[in-house]
């Protein structure tokens, strides 16, 4: 069971340090935080694994604004999110570049949370499985790879996939690729219990609810109960 907090473009170094000083991660489930690039150094070494929110597919080069896996590893970062829906929507991320980033990061020794998911229009047109098949198709099973199913219609909208929708999507992803699958999409303390109770849900990628110690702790405690059951 893995719970990852994606802080997106929130929390500078001082806020990051204050959060991690106040946060007590559970011991029975794995918890990681994914701060912005400028806060990675402030997060490393505070008793919890740290992931970046993106990583480039080259080790070095003329790629202004990007960060490589060796740079992250030198800093003490252990993993990275790749292919988040916001990267796809706003910054031109494609299935091909997601595959390249993922492959490079894994080869370099990072762990990866690779994100997949359909838009609301794709779901309404009955294309969910086609979209997931295409997105998962650029990935290869690896011991350090985790997939996060994040239906785009449930990212930052307040909407959440029902536990049944999550279970069905996760089962389909696992039929394509034998890796753990997290659920991501407006996960909150009040809906974490039924989502994490699903047999094919192996944890959560948490956005806004990971920004406050109390709410993130509550989700982690729910994951711990699920792990014990």
The count of other CB atoms within 10 Å of the CB of residue 107 is 12
Active-site residue 150, yes or no?
A: yes
Burial 117-143 (b: 16+ CB within 10 A, else e): bbbeebbeeeebeebbeebbebbeebe
Selecting among 30, 86, 118, 150, the annotated active-site residue is: 150
Q: Is 86 a catalytic site residue?
A: no
The dihedral over CA atoms of 167, 168, 171, 172, expressed in degrees to the nearest 10, equals -150
Could you give the CA distance from residue 65 to residue 169 in angstroms, rounded to a whole number? 34
Rounded to whole angstroms, the Cα distance separating 57 from 138 reads: 14
Q: Which residues lie closer than 8 Å to 61 by C-beta, 6 or more apart?
A: none
Query: Is the Cβ–Cβ distance between 70 and 40 less than 8 Å?
Result: no
User: Active-site residue among 56, 84, 104, 200?
Assistant: 84
The helix/strand/coil state of 81 is: strand
Residues designated catalytic: 84, 150
């Amino acid at each position: 069971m893995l719970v990852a907090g994606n802080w997106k473009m929130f929390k500078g170094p001082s806020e990051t340090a204050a959060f991690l000083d106040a946060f007590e991660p559970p011991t029975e489930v794995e918890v990681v935080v994914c701060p912005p690039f400028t806060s990675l150094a402030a997060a490393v070494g505070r008793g919890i694994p740290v992931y970046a929110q993106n990583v480039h597919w080259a080790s070095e080069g003329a790629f202004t604004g990007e960060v490589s896996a060796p740079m992250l590893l030198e800093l003490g970062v252990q993993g990275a999110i790749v292919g988040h829906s916001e990267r796809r929507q706003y910054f031109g991320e494609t299935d091909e570049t997601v595959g390249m980033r993922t492959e490079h990061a894994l080869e370099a020794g990072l762990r990866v949370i690779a994100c997949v998911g359909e838009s609301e229009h794709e779901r309404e047109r009955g294309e969910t499985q086609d979209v997931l098949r295409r997105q998962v198709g650029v990935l290869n099973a690896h011991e350090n790879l985790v997939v996060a199913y994040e239906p785009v219609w449930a990212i930052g909208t307040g909407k959440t996939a029902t536990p049944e929708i999550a279970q069905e999507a996760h089962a389909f992803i696992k039929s394509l690729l034998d890796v753990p699958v997290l659920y991501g999409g407006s996960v909150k303390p009040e809906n974490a219990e039924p989502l994490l109770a699903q047999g094919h849900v192996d944890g959560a990628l948490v956005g806004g609810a990971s920004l406050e110690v109390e709410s993130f702790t509550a989700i982690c405690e729910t994951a711990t109960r699920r792990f014990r059951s």
